[in-house]
Structure 1
Amino acid sequence: MRPSKFLSTSLLFVSPATASYGFYVGKNLTEDGSVMLGGTGEEVSSHWLQIFPAKDYPANATLEVGVTEAATMPGKRMNISQVRHTFRYLSMEYSDYEGFPAPLTNGGVNERGVAVRDIWADNRAELIEMTPNPQEGLQYSDLARIVLERASTAREGVEIIGQLIAEYGYADYGGNSHLIADKDEGWVVWEMSGGKKLWAAERLGPNEVRVSYPGYIEDFPVDFANSTDYMGSPNIVSFAVEQGWWTPNGTEPFNIFKAYGYDSEGYTARDGGFKYMSQAALENATLAMAPVSEKDLIERVRDYRIADDEAGYGQVVSLRADMDPDLIRIWVAPTGSVTAPFIPWWLGVQQVPPEFGEHRYLTKDAASTFLNPDFQFQEATNFAGRVFKQILYYTCSAPDTFLPIVQNTLHGFESASRSDLTWVEQSAKLLVENGQRQNALDLLTFYSQTQASKAMTLGRTIVDALDLYIKVTDQFRGPVGSQINDAGLGAETVNCLVGFDPDQPANRQPPSPK
């Protein structure tokens, strides 16, 4: 997921076709004292919401991990040991990325209050070139899923990733990272290409904001094993020295990005210039909101300068010390949140409506086979991802006109949900305290499903209104060519911002996000 070309240090890289981004906000910077995590996945793929129950396994159970020979960096699958018990978790699943086998995940949140985001983090070309063919080990989705299944704290999630890489290796597409958070802290973990089992991790404290787009780690202590704020593979320093990527001469500190990151003129750890907002600019914009609320972070995640056709969904979660596992709440937008509403879901929700489940739209290989009869009812329903994509395509045809109207409508819908949270959660908590947990789960399920149904009605209404307006005012235009897909990595995609940099006066600029 490296950019295809660099325009100039004053503009930006052409955006990668798929990337993902994540936001971490420490608890001293949030409105309610919670640690907050948000972001999205950017894959050309179908996305659907899924809740995975806790599960027990026999002593000899295994799970299959890794990549196949069809991946862009070919590999072979392998079986590793499964633990005896896995935790319940919620995730947005998807069907394809770089030839990796489905289903895949960027992360979500588990019943222990551990949240995970998966974000790209490019490595230098030499590491990619030395990656074995075929490669073996766990890939990014395997690591995110296993952290959700096994970790009780963010720190433990990092330790699990390190242990798995040390034992089984890491299978890659060019470099990757994870943001992991709990009620107290966050961690950014950077896994390296090359087949050398290299990884590094940095703790994020209560007074920090971190935006990964891509993920990054900078100065790193050579004696990290003696620090509670850093972790890494035993060879993370020595390998850089062996390769001549860092010289321990005492004049320049060891820096993970400079040693292992993507090397290109104008590309720095915090300012690669991707899309229309660098990591530094997004961090500053988030800091300016402090104390940050869920509403604020939702607006950062859906910022039209980063949320476009490439954004597969949106997530925002608050992590606090007093959370009952069933009452852990996560806001999820079913596709790119620039034109899709965030809906509150709880881990206690027992069933996802079929409209938000798996469908054939954008599912890998769906065009080459007929529907499995087992999915006929599911497929007969409207798909939330498709409905809100339709809104995106109409809205972005004239963003100055349509984007304020659509986003104001989404804000109103989300405001109504927020106003209900107090009575919904207090009612569920009282039911739990009085020994009626099942009734509490029924309440949470009913409310989330009701809001999901309202969101679908809202979505269809907006689509129909935009469709009617555009057609009766003779604005509809058919395609000029016959190529329905874009040209791939680096090609322009549908977005609600025309021009490169909204901070450059010469470029066209739609209404500023609030």
Structure 2
Amino acid sequence: MKISPLSISMVLALPVIASSQVAWASYAFYVGKNLTQDQSVLVGGTGEEVSSHWLEIVPAADHESGSTIEVGVTDAAYLPGRLIEISQVSHTFRYLSMSYSDYEGFPAPLTNGGVNEHQVAVRDVWATNREALIDMTPSPQRGPQYSDLARLVLECAKTAREGVELIGELIAEHGYSTYGGNTHLIADPDEGWVVWEFAGGQGLWAAERLGPDDVRVLYPGYIEEFPLDYQQNPDFMGSDNLITFAEQQGWFDSQADEPFNIFEVYGRQDTQARTGGYKYMTQAALEEAAKEMAPVTEQEMMARVRDHRIADDEAGYGQVVSLKQGVDADLVRIWVAPTGSVAAPFLPWWLGVQQVPLEYGQHRYLTKGAAASFLNPDFQIQEASDFAGRRFKQVMYLMCEKPAVYRPKVTEMLEGFEQASFDDMAWIERSAQTLIDQGQREDAQTLLTFYANSRAEEAMDLGETLVDWLYVSLKLTSGLRQPESEQINDPGGETVNCLVDADPVKPQDAQ
């Protein structure tokens, strides 16, 4: 059954609860394979950071014995820490992710996740803990942080369960560096897991399995009821002290015949897990909307991620990936919008793609430190290219001047562009698979690279056309509005979006 007008109105009517923790936080969507059109696991999400974002396809690599990597946070972090070296594994897997350059005290490049050659997908999502737990965090703290964990899972895990186990092992051995609590959604073609890593320096973490009939939306990430015998339950994992520590603090009594609820014990104490009202839709409403859409397609997941109540200026990019058994590593595909997908098309990328266009690589726009240093000459050609992130930010800023007029038209064009890509998927992937079966893997990679790069270039042309059209349309109809403020950087108020007064219930300005 598809989503109904009644369901949409119910979602729109949800309250908005302001929170300083909301900004730059990221969404994640999970839909189990029994609820999708092609029996694949669907994962979608956004990355919500101010920073510039760029696409990277990182090749598999072998590493010498004794190699190490640097993990953790610096003394500039909100909860100060020290960087440490941990052992590098002998072999890391190929993966795709969107990287970004700035989160206070967290060394760049950072990532929220992506997908690897074994179809393990990772999404990173905020999940603030109770204040008492945050206050316990050692200073300085040590251990891998959220981006380190996402990257290490992509590099090392062949299944979602392996990814969860890896996170637990890393925390037990090295500790965990946090900004106040975090979750990861990890999925493969069979299942998903929500992993919640807690502040406090106690090595606390918990994980819940998501099965084929489950839908989960994280914003913030959450886990609720948790069995006391979780170590004997294949659907749950966690640190050895998960329950005993809560009892020691007086936050839970195992003799009281009450369920052990992870959110109530370790989460924020001023809200609820699924109905806190963060941003413009609660997780509960988003989950119900997704269930009503079942069987869900990739394009319908894109519509969820693109929803203008989610994909505002805070959304640095959008991702949708379909995970299905039997897919060759080169044909693992993920759809990525180069900035908030309300204003940018989703583009198909495969792990077999050998080169990312210059326009989708790192640029100085919104990159940390760019205003304080000159360009590295090695990047002069890349920097001289147009930047996809900047191009589609222009589309967003222009269309949001008159959202009721422009947003539907821009959405129609973006969806039309994406439909053209979907129309090509069958022959492109069939041709690549045929080449692989005939022992011509390099030719298959060349085909995928050519197609992905061509669509990326055509998207840039679309963006340029949209910018020109929106700019001229505004100029000729209502004039180009001049700023009234003297401060170009937002001091902490409302971000650019396609709502009016940050109220999804109020009719949009139709001028």
* Same structural fold, with TM-score higher than 0.5 when normalized by the shorter chain: yes
One-letter code of the match for 1:496?
A: C
Q: Does 1:271 align with 2:298?
A: no
**Counterpart in the other structure of 1:289:** 293
1:200 pairs with 191, 203, 206, which one? 206
**Counterpart in the other structure of 1:129:** 135
Q: Does 1:427 align with 2:431?
A: yes
Residues 10 and 117 (structure 1), Cα distance of their counterparts in 2 relative to 1, 3 Å cut: closer
Q: Does 1:160 align with 2:162?
A: no
Distance 1:378 1:151 in 2: 32
Distance 2:295 2:423 in 1: 19
How far 1:230 moved relative to its partner?
Answer: 0.2
How far 1:300 moved relative to its partner?
Answer: 0.2
Residues 424 and 319 (structure 1), Cα distance of their counterparts in 2 relative to 1, 3 Å cut: same
Q: Structure 2 unaligned runs (5+)? A: 1-12
Distance 1:347 1:137 in 2: 30
1:422-460, Cα deviation, whole Å (9 max, x unpaired): 000000000000111100000000000000000000000
1:113 pairs with 94, 119, 123, which one? 119
One-letter code of the match for 1:372?
A: N
Distance 2:404 2:15 in 1: 25
1:150 pairs with 131, 153, 156, which one? 156
Distance 2:105 2:14 in 1: 33
**Counterpart in the other structure of 1:374:** 378
Secondary structure of residue in 2 paired with 1:210: strand
Distance 2:347 2:163 in 1: 27
How far 1:14 moved relative to its partner?
Answer: 4.5
How far 1:500 moved relative to its partner?
Answer: 4.4
**Counterpart in the other structure of 2:495:** 493
Tell me if the contact between 1:154 and 1:187 (Cα under 8 Å) persists in the aligned partners. Answer: yes
Tell me if the contact between 1:499 and 1:508 (Cα under 8 Å) persists in the aligned partners. Answer: no
Tell me if the contact between 2:399 and 2:406 (Cα under 8 Å) persists in the aligned partners. Answer: yes
How far 1:240 moved relative to its partner?
Answer: 0.6
**Counterpart in the other structure of 1:337:** 341
**Counterpart in the other structure of 2:4:** none
**Counterpart in the other structure of 2:5:** none
Tell me if the contact between 1:117 and 1:180 (Cα under 8 Å) persists in the aligned partners. Answer: yes
Secondary structure of residue in 2 paired with 1:33: coil
1:398-426, Cα deviation, whole Å (9 max, x unpaired): 10000011000000000000000000000
User: Aligned residue pairs: how many?
Assistant: 497
Residues 154 and 510 (structure 1), Cα distance of their counterparts in 2 relative to 1, 3 Å cut: farther
Distance 2:420 2:223 in 1: 39
Residues 499 and 14 (structure 1), Cα distance of their counterparts in 2 relative to 1, 3 Å cut: farther
Distance 2:292 2:59 in 1: 38
Q: Does 1:12 align with 2:13?
A: no
One-letter code of the match for 1:430?
A: T
Q: Does 1:254 align with 2:257?
A: no
**Counterpart in the other structure of 1:321:** 325
Tell me if the contact between 1:98 and 1:173 (Cα under 8 Å) persists in the aligned partners. Answer: no
Distance 1:235 1:487 in 2: 41
Tell me if the contact between 1:317 and 1:330 (Cα under 8 Å) persists in the aligned partners. Answer: yes
Tell me if the contact between 1:13 and 1:272 (Cα under 8 Å) persists in the aligned partners. Answer: no
**Counterpart in the other structure of 2:507:** 508
Tell me if the contact between 1:55 and 1:85 (Cα under 8 Å) persists in the aligned partners. Answer: yes
* Identity, % of aligned positions: 64
Tell me if the contact between 2:204 and 2:239 (Cα under 8 Å) persists in the aligned partners. Answer: yes
Residues 459 and 276 (structure 1), Cα distance of their counterparts in 2 relative to 1, 3 Å cut: same
How far 1:472 moved relative to its partner?
Answer: 2.4
Distance 1:324 1:172 in 2: 36
Distance 1:509 1:203 in 2: 40
How far 1:10 moved relative to its partner?
Answer: 4.2
How far 1:321 moved relative to its partner?
Answer: 0.6
How far 1:222 moved relative to its partner?
Answer: 1.1
Secondary structure of residue in 2 paired with 1:93: strand
**Counterpart in the other structure of 1:39:** 45
1:17-41, Cα deviation, whole Å (9 max, x unpaired): 2110100000000000001111011
Tell me if the contact between 1:18 and 1:43 (Cα under 8 Å) persists in the aligned partners. Answer: yes
Distance 2:377 2:503 in 1: 48
One-letter code of the match for 1:173?
A: Y
**Counterpart in the other structure of 1:462:** 466
Tell me if the contact between 2:14 and 2:282 (Cα under 8 Å) persists in the aligned partners. Answer: no
TM-score normalised per structure 2: 0.96
How far 1:174 moved relative to its partner?
Answer: 0.7
How far 1:288 moved relative to its partner?
Answer: 1.1
1:258-279, Cα deviation, whole Å (9 max, x unpaired): 0000111xx1000111111110
Distance 2:179 2:73 in 1: 10
Distance 2:454 2:241 in 1: 52
Distance 1:299 1:348 in 2: 26
Tell me if the contact between 2:16 and 2:281 (Cα under 8 Å) persists in the aligned partners. Answer: no
How far 1:11 moved relative to its partner?
Answer: 3.8
How far 1:249 moved relative to its partner?
Answer: 2.7
- Counterparts in 2 of 1:294-309, with a 5 A limit? 294-309=298-313
**Counterpart in the other structure of 1:479:** 483
**Counterpart in the other structure of 1:383:** 387
**Counterpart in the other structure of 1:71:** 77
How far 1:480 moved relative to its partner?
Answer: 0.6
Secondary structure of residue in 1 paired with 2:69: strand
**Counterpart in the other structure of 2:223:** 217
One-letter code of the match for 1:87?
A: F
Q: Does 1:80 align with 2:82?
A: no
How far 1:72 moved relative to its partner?
Answer: 1.5
Tell me if the contact between 1:170 and 1:197 (Cα under 8 Å) persists in the aligned partners. Answer: yes
Q: Structure 1 unaligned runs (5+)? A: 1-7
Distance 2:196 2:265 in 1: 12
Tell me if the contact between 2:474 and 2:480 (Cα under 8 Å) persists in the aligned partners. Answer: yes
How far 1:73 moved relative to its partner?
Answer: 1.2
Secondary structure of residue in 1 paired with 2:37: coil
Distance 1:205 1:24 in 2: 10
Distance 2:251 2:484 in 1: 49
How far 1:291 moved relative to its partner?
Answer: 0.2
1:186 pairs with 192, 202, 205, which one? 192
Distance 2:497 2:381 in 1: 33
Tell me if the contact between 2:61 and 2:93 (Cα under 8 Å) persists in the aligned partners. Answer: yes
RMSD of aligned C-alpha atoms? 1.3
1:346 pairs with 337, 343, 350, which one? 350
Distance 1:183 1:152 in 2: 11
Distance 2:334 2:181 in 1: 28
2:399 pairs with 381, 392, 395, which one? 395
